[in-house]
Structure 1
Amino acid sequence: MYRPAKGLFFAICYPILALIGVPANLLGIVILSSGQCGLSQYITCYLVAVEISDSLVIITAVILNRIGRIYFQGSVLSTTPACALSNVLVCATRDVSVWLTVAFTIDRFVAICCQSLKTRYCTEKTALLVIGLVSALSCARNVPFYLNYQPLYILDGAPWFCSMKPIYYTSLIWQAFEWLDHFLTPFLPFFLILLLNALTVRYILAASRARRRLRDAEIQGDQEMVNRKRSIVLLFAISLSFLLLWATYLGHFLYVQITGEGYLTSLDFNHPDYILQETANMLQLVSSCNNVFIYAVAQSKFREELRKVLTSPFTTVTGCFKQLNHGKTPSR
């Protein structure tokens, strides 16, 4: 579960992450929703859904959970009900974001490698259905955690902070539930993204060799090959970013389970275990605000739309000044 990071470094980094992440995700939502990026409607549905879920991760995990508990200790956010709800919302939004990335990877795998299934699966209706199911199931499976929190202490009748009930550490059911939770996020998504991308690369390489044999003389002008390359750039960029930023979190979880050291909450901020733990958490959160930069690098049309959005205020102001100056110009 999420615990508030401490230390000057994290106290500075999380506000920066929020200041970058929220505007970046909102820009992504606006630009993708305009439908001017040259992407099909169902792909746009997936990408907009990912951007919305990433925005919710930044709001819940970074602003409410991290910044709120670093800078506003003793506020209502530190009461047991708010603390428990915050932790559940963080995990739920994180799961939605991760599994929507998996859903997008599956969609691209079907579109590229399963031509017979493509016309039935790669549709806007299917995309909306998958997005709805992923969101509902991700939220539902985190609800039990809310019931397992108890106050860390009670002051003047008010419950403050939250800790797991003792039964969480002794019950086989809860231990199985925790392992299932970590298996579903991030072990299974990590494995699926690696597997599907490997299969997609193998299919593309095989198809490319076949096309070269058939059209060796015209390969430079093969528009289908060009479109296929453009189609997979976005997939691989998003997938690689996810794998790299979650690798530290995954490695730290395995380290804790193997060594039995446990998660650290109150320790010297310079302790290597504490630094590793909080760095893993931060990198995992960074994955929720970097997609816009990936789109800007991988998609020329997205860059063009981004330029229009960023320059539109200046264009509007300049146009107003021109109209005012034109109106003040004396007629001859």
Structure 2
Amino acid sequence: MGSLAFFLVQDVFYHSLAVIGVAANLMTIVILSRGSCGLSRCTGRYLVSMAAADLLVITFCVILNYLCSLYFPFSFLTHYYVCSLHSIVNASVVDCSVWLTVAFTLDRFVAICCQRLKARYCTERAAVGVIVTVWVLSYLRNIPRYFIYEPDHTRGCRLRNVCSKTPWALYMWSGMALTPLIPYVSILLLNALTVKHILVASRVRRTLRGQGNDGKQVDPEMENRRRSIILLFAISGSFIVLWMTRVVDFVFQEILLDMSRMAVVTHVGDMLMYLNSCTNTCIYALTQAKFREEMRRAVTHPIHLFLKFMKD
């Protein structure tokens, strides 16, 4: 009974995630691409690329991998060659989503804490270079996944028994370490260093400005930095919370080799991991007033057109 209830929860969750995730990420891409949200072009590039990666995660991992296999268990997706390519794409888009979050966190860390590097690194050109590099490396790293499947007469394709071979075992383990363990630790470390720098800098600026004007005037530099920090911590904090179960599952199963009673934890970790692919739109709406305004226009404009058409 418990397994059936959990399956029903999964079913409702993935169906809802598919609808909301596609709509939210498409809206985010359109709004941010217009460049009318008051964000820098560098930040805008990162956020658009993250939304695009999240959209691909929802499309390939949730819709094609879970929902299509649920309703069409013997579709063309189970063909050996398609199955192998699909495995590459699934892993690659998740890697892109994760490492673009790391890249954005690093960009904001440099912008806030490393003023000497800011002029060279926090530019639109540098952002495009980093984004392209992340996409290319993510796909190149996952190409060997094509060879871990073999044809199967009943199911179309199946996993080879590669875990007993040392090179393949090392490859699969390193892949799990690269996503999610290393990004998770990197984001935690970068955020900790950013918080430390902010506390020290804020204390110094309050002291200096307090000596000059009794601390009564608003500091525009600190206001701009505060908005940037809220956006950074909201995105990276969401990633840390939603990937925590997946990281714990990885540590227990792959590092501590404790495989007992972890099936439910693995499924919950996957669900929260995919949920991370549609939370950024909510974060932008909660933290960015201009994004809320653009989203309101995007939602109400079709309604106004429909009402105008009905009146005519």
TM-score, normalised to structure 2's length?
0.93
Partner deviation per Cα, 1:125-164 (whole Å, 9 max, x = no partner): 101000000000000000101112113x314xxx61321x
More helix by share: 2
**Aligned partners of 1:212 and 1:219 also within 8 Å:** no
Q: 1:214 corresponds to which residue? A: 208
Shift of 1:260: 4.3
1:225 paired with 2:222, answer yes
Partner deviation per Cα, 1:238-288 (whole Å, 9 max, x = no partner): 0000001111011112222324428xxxxxxxxx63322211111001011
Q: 1:299 corresponds to which residue? A: 288
**Aligned partners of 1:249 and 1:281 also within 8 Å:** yes
Shift of 1:12: 2.3
Q: 1:160 corresponds to which residue? A: 156
Shift of 1:80: 2.5
1:254 paired with 2:243, answer no
Cα separation, 2, equivalents of 1:260 and 1:281:
18
Cα separation, 1, equivalents of 2:269 and 2:134:
25
Shift of 1:75: 1.5
Q: 2:99 corresponds to which residue? A: 99
SS for the counterpart of 1:77 is: helix
SS for the counterpart of 1:150 is: strand
Gap regions ≥5 residues in structure 2: 1-5
Q: 1:201 corresponds to which residue? A: 195
2:275 to 280, 286, 297: 286
Shift of 1:38: 0.3
Amino acid paired to 2:153: I
2:182 to 159, 177, 188: 188
Cα separation, 1, equivalents of 2:95 and 2:56:
11
- Paired positions, count: 303
Amino acid paired to 2:284: Y
Q: 1:3 corresponds to which residue? A: none
1:169 paired with 2:166, answer no
SS for the counterpart of 1:282 is: helix
1:275 paired with 2:238, answer no
**Aligned partners of 1:11 and 1:70 also within 8 Å:** no
**Aligned partners of 2:22 and 2:58 also within 8 Å:** yes
Q: 1:12 corresponds to which residue? A: 12
**Aligned partners of 2:249 and 2:262 also within 8 Å:** no
Cα separation, 2, equivalents of 1:219 and 1:79:
69
Report % sequence identity: 46
RMSD, aligned α-carbons: 1.6
Partner deviation per Cα, 1:196-220 (whole Å, 9 max, x = no partner): 1111111111010001111122354
Cα separation, 1, equivalents of 2:134 and 2:216:
40
Gap regions ≥5 residues in structure 1: 1-5, 263-271, 325-332
Cα separation, 2, equivalents of 1:283 and 1:234:
20
Amino acid paired to 1:287: N
**Aligned partners of 1:84 and 1:162 also within 8 Å:** no
Cα separation, 1, equivalents of 2:133 and 2:202:
35
Cα separation, 2, equivalents of 1:225 and 1:66:
46
Query: Greater CA radius of gyration, 1 or 2?
Result: 1
TM-score, normalised to structure 1's length?
0.87
SS for the counterpart of 2:153 is: strand
Amino acid paired to 1:278: H
1:8/1:84 CA distance change after superposition, 3 Å: farther
1:315 paired with 2:310, answer no
Q: 2:3 corresponds to which residue? A: none
**Aligned partners of 2:149 and 2:157 also within 8 Å:** no
1:220/1:179 CA distance change after superposition, 3 Å: farther
